[in-house]
Each structure stands twice: as structure tokens, then as C-alpha cells.
Amino acid sequence: MPKDDDQSYHYNVMRRAIEAVDRLGPQATLDNIAREVGMSPAHFQRLFSQWAGVSPKRYQQYLTLGHAKTLLANRFTTLETAHATGLSGGGRLHDLFLRWEAMSPGDFARAGAGLTIYWGWFESPFGPALVMGTDKGICGIAFSAETTEAEAMEDMRARWPRAEFVEDPMRLRPWALAAFGVKADGPVPLYLIGAPFQIKVWEALLQIPSGHVTTYSEIAEAIDHPKAMRAVGTAVGRNPISYLIPCHRALRKSGGLGGYHWGLPVKRAILAWEAARLEA
């Protein structure tokens, strides 16, 4: 497992590798990708094997633009049967034990008034991550690899404009380390702050196992709003707890990746990372 202070460096290499795979197409050999990212093939292979758990040659297939269709064909999850098939134990995925509770609708309507939200920046496998939390658990994770730290902070603060925000990374550090797989001393608590419809969508996302995907239409069916796919897509996009509430696992029925609030390269990297680790 990479050290927490190495993870953003690994993601920066990953991001350049994704760009190289897209640009080189069939010519994306180990030697060519290593040259593109300015490394020797041996160093590149060691880094990727450490980060992804598989060799770069194996990993390359997970980075291709067509991989979403492969995921839909082979790892599609029908949310209504996820529990029955054992794909999602205890309401959550294989690789991380979470517990969560949701803010009441009345509290949400107050836009964070009376709520203290602590925040701090941490390294993650997918670049710098802004982690926010209350006394009850993590309420926000944002990634800044495709934007700026200032923009990520502004985006998150705007979700709860009347809350008090306090910088306190040490308070959040145990949860952040556990969230990104560095060190887990116990379950990671989540505190879902959203409108009732959004929370229903986010709870559905929590049923999608790591390494698997579903579609926006499946989520709409699972929450008993089969015609509300547009509203479901909006709620998925407004998920404040990226990665832990796995909005990256929601794809278009056509096999397209759909959108991702923190940038499609981040979504592709997360999906590839999870798929590789499932098969490693």
C-alpha cells in the first residue's frame, strides 16, 4: 500500500499515462507509455504495479475509452439484487466498511446553519483531496487534480453556505487515511447532507460493489422513480462525498462514462484502479 504522501505523485503519473494511452492508441506499449511519462520502463512498471496491483500491460486495458462498455457487459450490478447475491455486504462494498446516517430534511433546509464543518487537504490515490466532516462523520470529499484547490473549496462551501468551516486536518486524518486505504482503525462514518431525494440516490450508490458499475436508469428503478433519470443524474452529480459514495460507478446505458463533477480523467482513473484491484 502506498504511503499517504506518495499517492498524489502516483496519480499525476497515472493522469499522464491516461493521456498517453488515448493519444498513442495501438502504439501504447510499455516502452512508449514510459517514454511519454519520462520514466524508464522498469521504474514505470514498478510504480504502476505498486499503485494498481497489476502490471502496466494488464492495467492498460482498464484505461481505454471502451472499458466502460466492458464493465457494463461483465460487471453490471442490478441494485435490487445486490444484497441477495452477496455483492454488497452490510449495505456497503467489499473493500471498505462504512456506516452512515443522513441529516434530517429540516436541518438540510437550514443550509448548514448551526453546523460546524471541519476541513483539510490530504493526498489520495487520485490526486489532492479536500476532506470535510462534522462530528458525525465525513460529509464531503472533493478532488482538485482537474481543477484548483480554491475552486474545489468554493464548490464545497457553497453546498452548505450557512455552516461554520474550520480548518482542522488532524481531526479528520484518521477518517481520511482509512478512506483512502492507508490505515484503518475502524469503520469510516459518513454524514449525508442533502435533500431527501438526493439522499435516496446516494444510498442507492452505496449498494454498488467496488469494481462493478450500474446505470442511471437502474438507480432510478431502485429508488422507485423509474422516469426520473434526469433528476437521478443531477443527484449523482451533486454527491458531495466523492469516491466513498461511488458516483463514479454510474454509467450511461449506452456504455458512455457520463459526466463526473471532478473531471472525467479522475473518474476513469478510479474505475480502472478498482477494476484492476478486483482482478489482482
Report the SS3 class of residue 53. coil
Catalytic residue among 117, 247, 269, 271: 247
DSSP 178-218: HHTTS--SS-EEEEE-S-HHHHHHHHHHTTSPTT-BEEHHH
Tell me if residue 247 is catalytic: yes
Determine the Cα–Cα distance for residues 16 and 12; give it in Å rounded to an integer.
6
Determine the Cα–Cα distance for residues 267 and 258; give it in Å rounded to an integer.
10
Positive or negative torsion for Cα 130, 91, 159, 233: positive
Q: Are 38 and 154 in contact, with CB atoms under 8 Å apart?
A: no
- Strand blocks (E) in 54-111: 98-102
Determine the Cα–Cα distance for residues 194 and 239; give it in Å rounded to an integer.
8
User: What does DSSP assign to residue 171?
Assistant: H
Report the SS3 class of residue 3. coil
Catalytic annotation, residues:
247
